[in-house]
Amino acid sequence: LIFIRLPNNQTGVQSRNGAIFMSLVNQSMLSLMGVLQTFTVEKPLALREYEAGAYSVSAYYLAKTTSDFPFQTFFPLLFSAIVYFIMGLNDNAEAFFKFAFFNMLTANAAISIGYMVSAAVSSVAVALAIGPVV
């Protein structure tokens, strides 16, 4: 409710900067926290199947990221479509698609960091403690 229909004046510009910053932080934290439990929970199963020769680590990672990709793109785009017009940002289609693209890039970068943290630690509690700090 803070950023509804921002005006086109000096305070509006400052509020737009804050609104865009908050939307990027929201997307990054939401995406990061969503994947922190991924590898810590699946690590014993993936290691057992890797040691049995079922598939390689790169095949597992590629399959995991490919299967998650539709969700990693859909939800940031949905968020962008809702937030962009509520904030009353530029009514230009090119500006909207840039906003949505950068929200999607931010979300995917945060997801990659979440995957890294999740793979590096041994428990979900540690991942949830380290993730937001990274």
Per-residue three-class SS string for 97-130: HHHHHHHHHHHHHHHHHHHHHHHHCCCHHHHHHH
120-129, long-range: CB < 8 A, 24+ apart = 121/40, 122/40, 122/43, 123/40, 124/36, 124/37, 124/40, 124/41, 127/36, 127/37, 127/40, 128/33, 128/36, 128/37
Tell me: pLDDT of 41 over 90.
no
Mean pLDDT score, 84-97: 89
| Mean predicted lDDT score pLDDT of the chain | 88
Confidence bin at 89 (pLDDT 50/70/90)? confident
Confidence bin at 117 (pLDDT 50/70/90)? very high
Token pair in block for residue 106: 């931010």
43 vs 95: which has the higher pLDDT = 95
Mean pLDDT score, 63-83: 91
User: Residue 104's pLDDT is what?
Assistant: 94
Mean pLDDT score, 114-120: 90
The three-class DSSP label of residue 63 is helix
pTM: 0.85
Tell me: pLDDT of 7 over 80.
no
